[in-house]
Amino acid sequence: AWFQDLRLQRVFALLNADGGEGRVVGGAVRNSLMGIPVSDIDVATTLTPDTVTQRAKADGIKAIPTGVEHGTVTLVIEGKPFEVTTLRTDVETDGRRAKVAFSTNWQADAERRDFTINALYMNSKGEVVDLVGGLADIEKRNIRFIGDAAARIAEDYLRILRFFRFFAHYGSGRPDAEGLRACSAARSKLSTLSSERVWSELRKLLAAEDPGRALLWMRQVAVLSEVLPETEKWGIDAIPALVATEKALSWRPDPLLRLASIVPPDAERLERMAVRLRFSNAEAAYFRAWAAARPVDDEMSAAAFDRLLYRNGAEGIATRLKLALAVARGKAEGNMEEMSRSARLGKLLAQALAWRKPKFPIGGGDVISTGIPAGPRVGETLAKLESQWVDENFAADRAALLARLNELSK
């Protein structure tokens, strides 16, 4: 269905006129051959970025230069983006980013890509063009470097992580032996990559349906500790139970929760990890909330748990409960105790996820109008009343609290 999309057909019409050519490449071709939904569509073309832009403009299509130095122009047709990139050949490389030149040579363009399964093209007739033996690897679900693995890794060390990322998503059986060996041999070079690129690959790896096998292989060949030394003492054994629990309870696969399951809940180390991998503010906040969340006694009453949520915030506690629930469920088979613990944790988790922080019904203005002068006493008075209010399970309403405030100010 993605291929029949009239907007894609417009892209083909634009590029294939007057001696040019465009072909879909990369993830879209790979996924559709594997029967996996296609999300974004990358297109390779023999035309230069300038020509693509001119033709688009003449056709009333929006053309955004999204990576001029890479030769990428994004065409937006009725809201759908197509990344159109001019064929390239590698001219030199520094191991961090390949330097490239534009070309009209499909074979050379295929050969500068990373894996055979990522170098398949689909032309405007829907025919697959395989220049590097990618179809056979699609069949075998084999992630194989194009050409000499060690040499391809030395051009761009990020390919080590991409190898495991694509294995996590699409691989089966054992990883390709030559690739695995070459990744392991070059592992110390991972530290030369920019943190953004490393974390972006890791996040994608962790988002795979089951990242467990890939992580095991990464640990096996000592790649994991290069990028996530936190896992060294902690281990990655929690992943299978977490993945099983996500499936059973229909949780959306969450890369952050998966990462939390394999690193120690130590605030200082997590802070350092966030800095090292350049987490976004939201990602750093997620780990901070988790580290700050107090352990939850699963036999706690619903009322006591409400009070804990008010004082601790629900986000970190929900993370804690999800991880505890996965562990308990992992041990629950044939174990009554863990089974009932799972039930209790599940209940608390539902409460945490549905929880909305109630608003404390009085404020500083109310305190001042009772005659207490503006200053530290205002805050102290409010804090005292709020704490009582929480201890009494949020029962007192505004009128009751104002009455209590008047008592206090006498």
Binding site for Mg ion (CB under 5 A): 27
Q: Which residue is nearest to ligand ATP (CB)?
A: 27
CB atoms within 10 A of CB 260: 22
Q: Which SS3 state, helix, strand or coil, does residue 129 take?
A: strand
Q: Shortest approach of ligand ATP to residue 56 CB, angstroms?
A: 21
Tell me: does residue 119 bind ligand ATP (CB under 6 A): yes
Nearest residue (CB) to ligand ATP, 144 versus 159: 159
118 scored as a contact of ligand ATP (CB under 6 A): yes
Q: Given the complex with Mg ion, which of 27 and 346 has the nearer CB atom?
A: 27
Question: Which uninterrupted H or E stretch holds 148?
Answer: none
Nearer to ligand ATP, 118 or 381 (CB): 118
| HEC per residue, 266-289 | CHHHHHHHHHHCCCCHHHHHHHHH
Which among ligand ATP, Mg ion, none contacts residue 159 (Cβ within 5 to 8 A by kind)?
Answer: ligand ATP
* Residue 119 interacts with which of Mg ion, ligand ATP, none, CB < 5 to 8 Å by class: ligand ATP
316 in contact with ligand ATP (CB under 6 A): no
Q: How far is the CB of 270 from ligand ATP (least distance, A)?
A: 27
Place of tokens 């096996």: 220
With CB cut-offs between 5 and 8 Å by kind, which of Mg ion, ligand ATP, none does residue 218 bind? none
Question: In this chain, which of 12, 21, 26, 106 binds ligand ATP, going by CB under 6 A?
Answer: 26
Largest CA distance in the chain: 90
User: CB–CB of 98/69 below 8 Å?
Assistant: no
Among the listed residues 292, 338, 341, the one whose alpha carbon sits nearest the alpha carbon of residue 315: 292
27 contributes a contact to ligand ATP by CB under 6 A: yes
Q: How is the chain split among helix, strand and coil, in percent rounded to 5?
A: 60, 10, 30
Q: Positive or negative, the Cα torsion across 255, 258, 263, 269?
A: positive
CB of 396 to ligand ATP, least distance (A): 53
Q: Which is nearer to ligand ATP, 160 or 270 (CB)?
A: 160
CA distance 168 to 166: 5
295 membership: H or E segment, kind and range? none
| Burial (CB count within 10 angstroms: exposed 0-12, middle 13-18, buried 19+), residue 107 | exposed
Residue closest to Mg ion when measured from CB atoms: 27
User: What's the distance, CA 391 to chain centroid?
Assistant: 39
| Binding flags for ligand ATP, 75-114, as an x/- string (CB under 6 A) | --------------------------------------xx
Q: How far apart are CA 158 and CA 194, in angstroms?
A: 9
Q: Does 158 bind ligand ATP (CB under 6 A)?
A: yes
Is residue 83 within 8 A of residue 89, CB to CB? The reply is no
> What is the per-residue binding string for ligand ATP in 138-157, x denoting contact by CB under 6 A?
------------------x-
The tokens 């990369």 sit on which residue? 26
Phi, psi of 72 (to 5 degrees): -105, 130
- CA-to-CA distance for 239 and 224, rounded, in angstroms? 14
Asked whether position 32 contacts ligand ATP by CB under 6 A, the answer is no
Instruction: Report how many residues bind ligand ATP under the rule CB under 6 A.
Output: 12
Q: Measured in whole angstroms, how far is the alpha carbon of residue 155 from the centre of its chain?
A: 25
90 binds, among ligand ATP, Mg ion, none (CB under 5 to 8 A by kind): none
Q: Return the one option of ligand ATP, Mg ion, none that residue 32 interacts with (CB less than 5 to 8 A, by type).
A: none
Distance in Å, CB of 205 to ligand ATP, minimum? 11
Contact residue for ligand ATP among 23, 159, 322, 329 (CB under 6 A): 159
Q: Which residues bind ligand ATP (CB under 6 A)?
A: 26-27, 40, 42, 113-114, 118-119, 156, 158-159, 162
